[in-house]
Homo-oligomer: A and B are copies of this chain.
Amino acid sequence: MPGVDEGIFFPVKKLREWSEQVFRKAGVPHDDSILLADSLITANLRGVDTHGITRMLPVYINRIKNGVMNPETKLTVLRERLSTALIDCSNGPGQIGSDYAMNMAIEKASKTGTAFVATTHSNHFGAGAYWAMKALEHGMIGFAATNAPAVFAPTGGKKAMLGTNPFAVAIPAGNEMPFVLDLATTVVARGRVMLHKKQNIPLQPGWAFDESGRPTTDPVEAVKGLLAPIGGYKGYGIALAIDIMSGVMTGSNYGSHFPGFPDINMEEPSDIGGIFCAVSIDSFMDLSEFTERMDTALREIKNCPLAEGNERIYIPGEIEMGTYEKRIHEGIPLPEVVVGEFENIGEEMGVPF
């Protein structure tokens, strides 16, 4: 989902400090509050406002207040082998367990070449790219995925049984920017359909289904209906594989068992699972040789002859990196309605925005 470039710009430092303080007031321990704020602020900096404080800070605070997410996280290693582990996250914010799991994957991969660490009984973990990218500075490929409440049906069905189940892959380069792919397994996000409905613009074919499971371009029908997975049955398969590994295999929720969206359901814990992998590149090729080959490969892609109406080719992650460079100096834009929401939260929590 594209970033929200309209709104009032706030300095990054101010937003970061305020977010940390709000989380601490809600009972999140000091170090965890820094991590939580950094995960969300980084999403905002990369233009992924749907996963930034813009949308998620009020949700997290609300969940803590309603007692369906714990502010303090007790991490327990349930199973561990040389290259794998399963971490119980005791219903704390998803970022805490994810950070531990990804660090563990990196440490294990530095010893054995690769590692696969999973989390259970966790929550929304922010943007997947944040975790996959942690591998980059270690000369590793990072991978992160999570399951999520259902928004689409298996191919041929009309009941939502699969989440957007996003996954992210980060691969280092040399002088070129790293490759950072972060995607949901649906063609478009729900937010995009909502926007079309608001503006009364028909959807593109292939984006959504109505309540009966028929393809529709009517945004009103689509909002009542289902999103479409990428590549039809292919996206259904990818989402199901992620759900099985994140949910079924970890003992977390899966499929249609989630109690609802984290911003709406305030009755039960989300009980989300996640998977985190690291692959040490020097297990296959000296890192310096690899990053040189990567630079060449990425430049070749960027020099691809352009299709009509296009000005340039982007490597996955390049647009987000560009937004980061811009926003780190110019600040993060917040829509007026969000500023109002933050003022209310600030007043309530005794941390004026």
Contacts and interface: CB of A to CB of B under 8 A. Distances in A.
Interface of A: 79, 81-86, 109, 111-116, 118, 141, 153-159, 161, 169, 171, 179, 181, 183, 187, 205-206, 209, 212-214, 230-238, 240-241, 243-245, 248-251, 254-256, 277, 279-281, 283-285, 290, 293-294, 297, 300-301, 304-308, 310-316
15 contacts: A81-B113, A82-B112, A84-B280, A114-B115, A154-B301, A155-B314, A159-B305, A183-B231, A187-B232, A206-B206, A230-B235, A233-B316, A240-B301, A240-B315, A255-B300
B84 A279 contact: yes
A141 B84 CA distance: 13
Given A255-B297, A305-B157, A307-B213, A112 B141 contact: no
A308 to B, nearest CB: 5
A238 B111 contact: no
Contacts of A118: 284
Nearest to A214: B308
Given A116-B283, A183-B231, A255-B300, 12 more contacts: A79-B283, A82-B112, A118-B284, A153-B304, A158-B306, A158-B308, A159-B305, A179-B241, A187-B232, A230-B230, A230-B231, A244-B297
B316 A240 contact: yes
Nearest to A116: B114
Nearest to A181: B237
Interface secondary structure of A, over-half rule: mixed
A84 B315 CA distance: 28
A88 B205 CA distance: 45
